[in-house]
Structure 1
Amino acid sequence: MMQQNNFAIYFAGDAYSTAKKIMGRQSAGKAFMRGVARTWPSGLLHGVAPDAKTAESMVRQLRGDGFSGELRWHDFANWRGVDSVSALYYPAPPPTEFAAARNLWRPDAYSLMGVTHTLSSGIAMDQIANLVLPPFKPWDALICTSRAAHTLVSTLQAEVREWWREQTGASRFVQVELPIIPLGVDVSAFAPESGGREAARQTLGFRDGECVFLFAGRLSFHAKANQAPLYQALEKVAQQVPVTCIEAGVFPNDAIKGAYIKAQKLLAPSVRFLLVDGQDEPRYRQAWQGADVFVSVSDNIQETFGLTPVEAMAAGLPVVVSDWDGYKDTVRDGVDGFRVATILPPAGVGRDLAVRHALGMDTYDFYIGRTSMATVVEPTALARALLTLALDGEKRRAMGAAGLKRAREGYDWSVILHRYAALADTLGRIRTEAAGSAVEPWPTRADPFARFAHFSTQTLGGSWIVEMLPGAHTRLHDLLTLSMVGYAFDAVLLPKESLMALLAELEKGSLPSVNELLGAAGLATSAGVRALQWLWKFDVVRVRPA
């Protein structure tokens, strides 16, 4: 029986769309939303967003992906959780601010459930380190998309705990859940079409007898995979069999595109290259349909999971990948394709690279790029794996079939999302066992009227007397035409209507106390107090101690 959706989705548009940026995180997020629509096409979904405009974008995206069920949207500022929802999914490591805001109201109201993507940035490292400290709770989780990600996260957190012990004598830390759940793909979107291979090869101009290798992904030699070793290996293969290499993706700029083309001509003159725009969906689809072998020799620490080899398996292609990060989990060496050994320098060799980046002397791109320059994808083994598949069509077909079966059974989003839902259930049980958690303050983000109370002469008292001044309505009318005093109006935080409601009560002739006035006007709220202060600030009413 399929697990029902039991987690809300925090919708940040740029995390679920490739319209502005095509990177692994955005591609995974876009596929995640499509997977949600496919897995629960007519169900009830809960969306949490910072504003109504963002919520509208979420609805449009889900509808575009085929969702016909009900979406209940919640304003994040007022999100307190609902009984049917165990967790709030966030498309990155859960932010400290989210946990602290939740704890102001009720720490056990819901769990935060984030996911790893790139782990090499300073921001990502800090986010992971912060998870061992309050305001996070044991019923929060960071989904690690691979064993490599889990090892990095758990090792870093252990080192952070030890650092705090040595520096401050701290002994109590938070242990969030760290399940290993891979990213998913829409297997049906990559499935081979009947007659699709022949049609694609004819359209793309491939000749009989040539082996077509495909790389798909970001075309960035410093931030994804340096293709020079691949070009050198393909040149060796091309001495025995005709070779075409498709590179399908998007270049960050023309300079990088030029660098690719120059390297292709110099390092692999015997190989025919075909560049396919990753944003040209029909052409991109043809590239997948017409290829014989998928290849990705990632050598970059920015890679954590690696979606494209799983997409290749879903397309029925054998794969040749570097034995690196998440590829170690997804590709079975000798079964779905080949994993080529990678070699790093010993620890200590990169300390200067890390410090230079931390101090702002090197950009992030140079940091990861220089690290990749010392990461070896073993050249002889790479050429051997490529040649083996280029010469053996039967092996290509067998490995492609094994990969397709693996993708369907373990990596389709319908499978992965039910693992997410099971995780949300687990977190809910942990939360239930800790029921009754007390409300917790957020010291660094306190109520400004508490934090800065000593700045003023006095603090408004509930027994103080309120009096409407002559000409109050005329003065209010004039004031409302001024942006200088009206810029802060908001339907929730400072409604204009509350000003009129307070004056309407004062017109009844009595001199009520602050508490009496706010209660009679139905404004015994923080927004009501702020409205009264606004009227006093601009001399519409007078307030004095009793």
Structure 2
Amino acid sequence: MGRKVANAAFMRTLLRADPFDAYHFFPPGERMAQALAADLTREAPELMASGRVRIMPRLELPARLADTAYHCFHLSDCMLSQPHLARLRRLHAPRPMPVTGGIHSLSRADYMAAFLPHLWPGATGREAIVCTSRAGRAAVAAFFESLREAYGLDAVRFPGPRLETIGLGVDASAIAPPGPAARKAAREAAGIPTDAVAALVLGRLEHHSKMDLLPLLRAFQLAFAGRLARGSAHLILAGWGSEDDEILPVVRSLAANIGLGLTVRLRPSEADKAALLAAADYFLSPSDNVQETFGLTLLEAGAAGLPVLASDYDGYRDIVVHEETGLLVPTVGPAATTALDALARLLPDNQAHLLLAQQTAVDVALLAEGITRLCTDEALRCRLGVAARTRVEGRFTWEAVVAAHLEMWERLWAEPVKAADQLCLTPHPLHLPYARVFAAHPAQSGLSGLRLTRSRAGEAVYRGQEHPLFYAGVSHLVDAGRLRALLVLARAPLDGEELAQRLARALPGCDAEAASFIVLWALKHGYLERA
């Protein structure tokens, strides 16, 4: 969910800033293209009406790379296609523009395989992975270090992309500390007693993918055993979850047993979230799960003027300044996971995450101390909350995130690149060489030795008496004009290889491989025949 929210907000802010002459999108399919067009029309209607936004099929990428002076290509996720786009760029683009992509969750067991394609000899130096936190950057660096060690890849021949650190953002103008009337109404709606100090937990209410709530309740129990009066604290749990989850009845029972007031809001809307932020006195997020890399909810809390009590974990430490905008609680994780490493690819990811999280400890005693301090010191809450809002406004707006990306793309242009001829001849080692691998499937591979001429059907097409059907996924390579040019050349028998070479010379922008495709297509559909 956080990934989708972040991607949409980044694109919305970039288009509003409008720093480029044009914006080209290459979605993977027609359905996604239609959805993207609808989203862009809603978010940037004037820009869409200007004609400066184009949505094109991915089959057009080679042609557009060849004829368009792109400033950069940016992907919402570095995992799926970034190194493959970089290879395509090097084959077709006159200049190697930056190719960048961001990280989100990094903890899926198959991500070692997903990062391996980034390590290849054809990297230009203008590729970058944008990491949202220092911990995320360290994790990506560790991926590459582990892969190089395992496969014996030296960093000179297999350099990989640059690693940049740019955090995520929040629309601070849309979230503001509430006034007294709004706060009172929100607290009444949430069922918070007048004299209770309310903590808000906002996120997935799942012990296997976000945080374990049982140590949190243990911390409240310790706080009540100390100097925090029972009945003076209230906990709001809001986020993704289900009443069928086994953990919620346990949490409700334990909260009642220790005297902790509890409000649960499952799957809150954006309006619900805003109301809960207005109702809360501080924000609580003792995350212990490796699938977390940044922490958008902490930014939302800071924008709402709430102090944050969070685990000293992953991207949280980039957001919260201890004792200045909130409090960070120490964490301890495992030094070795050899047994789980070997098992994880055979498990669902949430099971592996659970096994990791259950050996990641948030210091319960210090968490209890933080709860007590925030519940008993209104001046501390006020000071931390004001500073949190100031920090978000100064460092974590989407405008700042977009500006950092613009600066990064300019810097990447200054990076020296290898000689063009050296890079163009470097295939990606994980790109399947179809013709080579499947050479034994057909009786013959290639056109050499085949004498071809146009057939009776080809004659009919040439004279305009028959009109071929060109499939949508092929029409960018062969069309009526290209077929007619081939049929002109094939009026007399020619060796197939020679025919393809002549066709490549006759058609602008047609290389030998594309010409061979046209010849084989015409032979397949009966417009050419063996002489």
| TM bucket normalised to smaller | 0.7 to 0.9
Corresponding position of 1:6:
none
Q: Give 2:250's match in structure 1, choosing from 244, 262, 273.
A: 262
Q: For residues 33-88 of structure 1, give each alpha carbon's deviation from its aligned partner in whole angstroms, at most 9, with x where no partner exists.
A: 33324433997433232345433433322333346323233443334174351343
Q: Is 2:72 the counterpart of 1:72? A: no
Q: Is 2:114 the counterpart of 1:133? A: no
Query: Separation in 2 of the partners of 1:294 and 1:273?
Result: 15
Q: Give 2:168's match in structure 1, choosing from 170, 174, 183.
A: 183
Query: Separation in 2 of the partners of 1:421 and 1:437?
Result: 29
Residues 1:128 and 1:63: Cα distance change in structure 2 (over 3 Å) = same
Q: Is 2:94 the counterpart of 1:112? A: no
Q: Give 1:242's match in structure 2, choosing from 203, 224, 232.
A: 232
Q: Give 1:285's match in structure 2, choosing from 264, 267, 274.
A: 274
Q: Is 2:252 the counterpart of 1:297? A: no
Query: Which amino acid is 1:264 matched to?
Result: R
Three-state SS of the structure 1 residue aligned to 2:205 is coil
User: Does the CA-based 8 Å contact 1:108-1:431 persist in structure 2?
Assistant: no
Corresponding position of 1:17:
none
Corresponding position of 2:218:
232
- Pairwise CA distance, 1:190: 2.0
Query: Which amino acid is 2:220 matched to?
Result: L
Matches within 5 A, 1:398-413: 398-413=383-398
Worse-matched range after superposition: 402-411 or 221-230: 221-230
- Pairwise CA distance, 1:289: 1.6
Query: Which amino acid is 1:86 matched to?
Result: C
Q: For residues 332-386 of structure 1, give each alpha carbon's deviation from its aligned partner in whole angstroms, at most 9, with x where no partner exists.
A: 11111110111224x23x221222213x1x3321111011111111111111111
Matches within 5 A, 1:82-481: 82-93=68-79, 95-106=82-93, 109-165=96-152, 172-194=157-179, 195-235=181-221, 236-237=223-224, 239-251=229-241, 253-256=242-245, 258-269=246-257, 270-345=259-334, 347-348=335-336, 350-358=337-345, 360=346, 362-431=347-416, 438-439=423-424, 440-442=426-428, 445=431, 448-449=434-435, 452=438, 455-457=442-444, 459-460=446-447, 464-469=451-456, 473=460
Query: Separation in 1 of the partners of 2:458 and 2:520?
Result: 18
User: Does the CA-based 8 Å contact 2:122-2:427 persist in structure 1?
Assistant: no
- Pairwise CA distance, 1:267: 4.3
- Pairwise CA distance, 1:317: 0.6
Worse-matched range after superposition: 199-208 or 422-431: 199-208
User: Does the CA-based 8 Å contact 1:86-1:428 persist in structure 2?
Assistant: no
Residues 1:401 and 1:434: Cα distance change in structure 2 (over 3 Å) = farther
Query: Which amino acid is 2:412 matched to?
Result: L
Q: Is 2:473 the counterpart of 1:492? A: no
Query: Separation in 2 of the partners of 1:239 and 1:192?
Result: 27
Three-state SS of the structure 2 residue aligned to 1:179 is strand
- Pairwise CA distance, 1:274: 2.0
Query: Separation in 1 of the partners of 2:458 and 2:56?
Result: 41
Query: Separation in 1 of the partners of 2:483 and 2:127?
Result: 44
Residues 1:86 and 1:457: Cα distance change in structure 2 (over 3 Å) = closer
- Pairwise CA distance, 1:505: 4.9
User: Does the CA-based 8 Å contact 2:217-2:254 persist in structure 1?
Assistant: no
Query: Separation in 1 of the partners of 2:506 and 2:144?
Result: 53
Corresponding position of 1:16:
none
Residues 1:231 and 1:443: Cα distance change in structure 2 (over 3 Å) = closer
User: Does the CA-based 8 Å contact 1:298-1:322 persist in structure 2?
Assistant: yes
Query: Separation in 1 of the partners of 2:275 and 2:445?
Result: 72
Q: For residues 7-38 of structure 1, give each alpha carbon's deviation from its aligned partner in whole angstroms, at most 9, with x where no partner exists.
A: xxxxxxxxxxxxxxx3x323322332333244
Query: Separation in 1 of the partners of 2:254 and 2:392?
Result: 37
User: Does the CA-based 8 Å contact 2:478-2:518 persist in structure 1?
Assistant: yes
Query: Which amino acid is 1:231 matched to?
Result: L
Three-state SS of the structure 2 residue aligned to 1:352 is helix
Query: Separation in 2 of the partners of 1:412 and 1:242?
Result: 34
Q: Normalising to structure 1: TM-score of the pair? A: 0.81
Corresponding position of 1:5:
none
User: Does the CA-based 8 Å contact 1:277-1:284 persist in structure 2?
Assistant: no
User: Does the CA-based 8 Å contact 1:228-1:267 persist in structure 2?
Assistant: no
Q: Normalising to structure 2: TM-score of the pair? A: 0.83
Count residues with an aligned counterpart.
507
Query: Separation in 2 of the partners of 1:122 and 1:272?
Result: 38
Query: Which amino acid is 1:314 matched to?
Result: A
Query: Separation in 2 of the partners of 1:158 and 1:206?
Result: 50
- Pairwise CA distance, 1:399: 0.9
- Pairwise CA distance, 1:436: 6.2
- Pairwise CA distance, 1:299: 0.7
Query: Separation in 1 of the partners of 2:251 and 2:273?
Result: 23
